Chain A
Amino acid sequence: QQQVKQSPQSLIVQKGGIPIINCAYENTAFDYFPWYQQFPGKGPALLIAIRPDVSEKKEGRFTISFNKSAKQFSLHIMDSQPGDSATYFCAANHKTQGGSEKLVFGKGTKLTVNP
């Protein structure tokens, strides 16, 4: 099943809050799980990524939690700021027969951080 299910669709938090975005997948062949941040009119920018042999990865205020047995992973944003307001996409990497990677994206979460 080549799908990644992402929730919630939108999220509003106050400055300093900790928004959490969840993703779930079915295909156990996925081998890498990146998160992308997208501002209006811009391309997705790689934010943080995790491999399935790791349960947690932290980079600055961004943390990925990964539950391999449940096939779920989530993004936490600590001390969120208005500048974090963007659309966040989870994705899963699938190695193709040709040897390259193919990213399967979730539907995105529009995050608004109010001042």
Chain B
Amino acid sequence: EPEVTQTPSHQVTQMGQEVILRCVPISNHLYFYWYRQILGQKVEFLVSFYNNEISEKSEIFDDQFSVERPDGSNFTLKIRSTKLEDSAMYFCASSRDGVSYEQYFGPGTRLTVT
């Protein structure tokens, strides 16, 4: 069964450093998303991406964040200058189209900012 994959599974970085989280969505999916989940809290929407551009972003997704689809398979989230409060699980998700509504999530990357 196709699945969303994410790397790395755990990333530790120092405050102020840049990190790039990587995702490989399901191959025939067209819509891509990033969510985050601070420990013990709910999953929060960050950004959606379609046709090589951002469709929508939340207020969390400020200028420190960017997303890119550098090739036909990867989807990345970059945090330019990490802060302590960026520590969270980051989930990538993908959906086939704008009709199916079914978003499939990857296993997540645990980001720890020290």
Question: Among B11-19, B62-70, B72-80, B96-104, which stretch is in contact with chain A?
Answer: B96-104
Selected contact of B43 from candidates A31, A44, A96, CB within 8 Å:
A44
Chain B interface residue count, Cβ-Cβ cutoff 8 angstroms:
26
The contact string, 1 if C-beta is below 8 Å from chain B, for chain A 21-55, is 00000000001101010000111111001000000
Tally chain A residues at the interface, Cβ within 8 Å. Answer: 28
Q: Chain B contact residues: over half helix, strand or loop, or mixed?
A: strand
How many Å lie between the Cα of A29 and that of B31 in the bound state?
20
B55 close to chain A: CB less than 8 A:
yes
Chain B min CB distance to A100 (Å) = 4
For the complex of A and B, 5 pairs with smallest distance between CB atoms: A98-B55, A43-B105, A96-B56, A100-B55, A100-B48
Complex interface: chain A residues within 8 A of B107 (CB): 41-43
